[in-house]
Amino acid sequence: MKNNLAKLGAIKLNFEKQFLNYKEEFEKYLNQYIDSLKGVPSKLVESIKYSLLSGGKRIRPVLMLAFCDLLGGNKEMVYPFACALEMIHTYSLIHDDLPCMDDDQMRRGKPCNHIAFGESTAVLAGDALLTQAFEIVSSNHEQNDFCLQKLKSINILAKCSGSSGMVGGQIIDLNIDLNSSSLKNILELYTMKTAMLFSASAQIGAIMAGADDKKISGAKIYGEKIGIAFQISDDISDNENEILDFFKFETPEKYVEKISNEAKLELQKIGGNTDFLNHLADYLTKRSIV
């Protein structure tokens, strides 16, 4: 019993250490990139930095780097995509907090971007982050070894964050009538609004590692499932009871467990050392990893 507990404690510690390693590697690259920006008006840089470098958990970049590692890729090729994805995630948070959307005041314990810099600067910081994301991943095209992989990844990035992905999900969310919606509608909304960015992370990590189509498809399914589980867990913490009522037939917690187990099954099919990504599925659903 005591031995088992010690073993479980060590697994948890390893996961946390690895998460922190990925996060630190990523942030080193991100900071260097932001510091290297030239010709950007200082007000815009300030507003971008305020949100991009302000304590995000960096789940999506970590997920991308972990998939690249699992499939034996070179992380140097993935960092620009990890930055791009975090920039898109950050733009979505800035815009989501605006008065015309959620009208929030605080994010990550600090005033929202539009409170600190004004609405017009916040809109432009979001626009700039979205555009910058595509600039960073399409730079250095003279290194054409990875051209096809880069193009595929750019396409996934655009698709998952655009009209049939996150932005599409946001407009459905703004207009949804819960009285005439079904669980299927809610899951579609969650997939588009939240899970597709997770799925993009996993897929891009796999693509840039040169994985075959079967493994890329496994990464896509894993990403979508943990993304949905993450969103439902977020609703559980926020007591979003109106939405959680849709999961009443088996309780939202049971649904989260079921869908993260399905995600882990996809990992098993991919093979290799999947320990970190297995634990990530538990970490994201706010369940203890041990």
Q: Residue 220: is it exposed, middle or buried by C-beta count within 10 angstroms (0-12/13-18/19+)?
A: buried
Among 166, 187, 207, 277, binds ligand GRG (CB under 6 A): 166
Of 237 and 288, nearer to ligand GRG (C-beta) is 237
Among 18, 47, 51, 92, binds ligand GRG (CB under 6 A): 92
Q: Which of residues 97-116 bind ligand GRG (CB under 6 A)?
A: 101, 108
- Which range, of 11-19, 92-100, 117-125, 150-158, touches ligand GRG by CB under 6 A? 92-100
Of 93 and 133, nearer to ligand GRG (C-beta) is 93
CA distances from 186 to 71, 89, 173, 251 (A): 32, 21, 9, 15
Among 59, 71, 82, 112, binds ligand GRG (CB under 6 A): 59
Closest residue to bound ligand GRG by CB = 56
What does the DSSP assignment read for 83-109?
HHHHHHHHHHHHHHHSTTTT--SEETT
Of 231 and 285, nearer to ligand GRG (C-beta) is 231
| 225 touches ligand GRG by CB under 6 A | no
Strand partners, 107: 110
CB atoms under 10 Å from CB of 213, counted, come to 9
- In the block, tokens 């964050």 appear at 161
CA distances from 147 to 9, 63, 140, 143 (A): 43, 22, 10, 8
Of 18 and 194, nearer to ligand GRG (C-beta) is 194
Q: Strand, coil or helix: what is 35?
A: helix
| 191 touches ligand GRG by CB under 6 A | no
Q: Which of residues 60-89 bind ligand GRG (CB under 6 A)?
A: none
User: What x-and-dash track marks residues 230-269 binding ligand GRG by CB under 6 A?
Assistant: -x--x-----------------------------------
- Which range, of 17-25, 54-62, 212-220, 239-247, touches ligand GRG by CB under 6 A? 54-62
CB atoms under 10 Å from CB of 17, counted, come to 10
| 51 touches ligand GRG by CB under 6 A | no
The sign of the torsion formed by the CA atoms of 149, 152, 158, 161 equals negative
CB atoms under 10 Å from CB of 83, counted, come to 23
What is the contact surface with ligand GRG in residues (CB under 6 A)? 56-57, 59, 92-93, 95-96, 101, 108, 166-167, 170, 193-194, 231, 234
